[in-house]
Structure 1
Amino acid sequence: MRALLLVALALLAGCGDLPQPFRGNPGLQARRLAAPPAYRIAVPAPDAALLPDAASTDFAVALAEALDASDVPAVAGPPAPLDWRLTVTADREGASVVPSYVIRDAEDRPMGQARGRPVPLPAWAASAPATLREVAARDAPAVVALLGRGEAARAASVTVPFNGSGGPPRVRFAGVRGAPGDGNTSLAARMREMLPGRGLVVQDGAEGAAFGLSGEVTMAPAPNGQQRVEIVWTVTRRDGADLGRAVQLNEVPPGTLRGLWGDVAYVVAQEASAAVRDIIANAGGLGEEAARRRESRPREPAAAAAPPRN
């Protein structure tokens, strides 16, 4: 199997609308910029809130919008590696339903809990979008208040230098999912080996990390009896901004990767780790001097992969 083809999305990241705070001569003030906000709240669709699936999604969206309107960075959906998370549950109490909200940090530690105001059972059961928006707007201040208390306030006040001036950029690697065979394990292991050689410090936890990285593999049927392999590496920063994605594509005979990935994982990680470094550098994450060194260094030729061992 030849090396998976690296699509140029990552290399084009610097040509789009990505923030580039260190391009040109931004002056002293720009050089003092601290990290982006220390957290973003992700609001997954709740599965224990006594709501149907569609209404759960609507409620998550309504909560994220209400929090965002209160100047709390929030997004509906699964958390990125450095996101905090708002978990929503609901309990029936007599003729009412009472929502409860728990904020967890990126390490899954509870930062606080709040109870919403009771909602009449018929109104909650009907799950009308207008009702869900009303409940979200009404309970959002209680959630916002959690961020101003105790450990949440202390943790949120910690900033991480964005340009790596305090040392190499620290990346929280959330691993790989979706791959057949031992792909998740092999790809993750090879990426952990490769990234330090690209000037990045890899860690499992979120504490002190300025960037997040995750990988996802998708397999799908392709023409001529082949199987399409797509590997997406997503780089985010602490405020949840999606800095860029490196996409690797290829078509292989069905079942080729259902066992051991072997040298294929090595070559995939070799190419993808360079793209991850470029995404972070294009966003200013390596600092000016490191970026200049990267630009002056000749790009490594792509290596050929041996057939995977099954």
Structure 2
Amino acid sequence: MIRVLPVRRLAGLAGAASLLLLSGCLDVPHPFRDPGRVGRSLARNAPPARLAIPLPAAALLGDDAAREWSRDMAAALLEQTVPALAQPVRPGDWWLRLGAEARGGQVVPTYSIMTPAGAVRGSGEGVGVPAAAWAAGDAEALRQSARQLALSIAGALTGIQADQMAQDPHSLKHRAARIYFAGVKGAPGDGDVALAQAFVASLRDAEDAVQESPREADFTVSCAVSVSEVIPGGSGHPQQHLQLVWRVVDAQGKESGAATQLHDIDAHSLDGHWGEVALAAAQEAAGGVRQVISRYSGRDNTPLPPPAGAPAVAKAQRQG
């Protein structure tokens, strides 16, 4: 979530349009979340539909505690929007191999991310836990260990997906996103037209290509503008509350994120010509929309390289 304090006065910013700030929040799904059939086709490289977590046999735990730890891990990964399930590995599953190592007076939890072909694609370890608490299957110790490991695992999975995209010449790491802009609705004055023209001009760059038709578009963007009733202004001038919501959906119509701009303006000051106000708002919105698309698609994520000394792993991982 990105939150920036709103600019209080939007009207009359001619010559100072760059002072506008994006306010509200950018709400986007976490990377590596399964976005569905059409979402997966954006990169032409499907992340795992689920991450299986079988019973960890080498975790230095009794069966009941091991089962509880795998459930804790699944819950912790779900909090990171990773589709994890504590269950046996099924054909086609990516899965998590959990373990633990005794080191002095502590037990260090470990993990390996396994491909459907059975290759290790990523691994790591967590913070040591007092050996007595671990051996006793202390519920809080297991839960905290799962939450700490989940952050590392989610980051590794994001890197794995980025590596898949990097290997795919058709992914959004190697081409501009095709975007259909459905226009602006609800703005007073000439805002619908002025905002639309300025937004299209601001969004086009090496990463984003605006097209005339929704056919084969990766994303569709639309903007809804609303103006509240006149409210008392601290300056003695009546004011209105202006809200612009730039919504981004994927090719299936699933929301990818939204950028919201909130401003108080002098009452009816935008009932006519928007001028440079439209340009400033559109430039700001284009940056927000670009962030939504980048986060949803994962095109800016850093690829996780294959494990050292295992060149065949990346190939097996991609085929899996």
- TM-score, length-scaled by structure 2: 0.43
User: Based on CA coordinates, which of the two structures has the bigger radius of gyration?
Assistant: 2
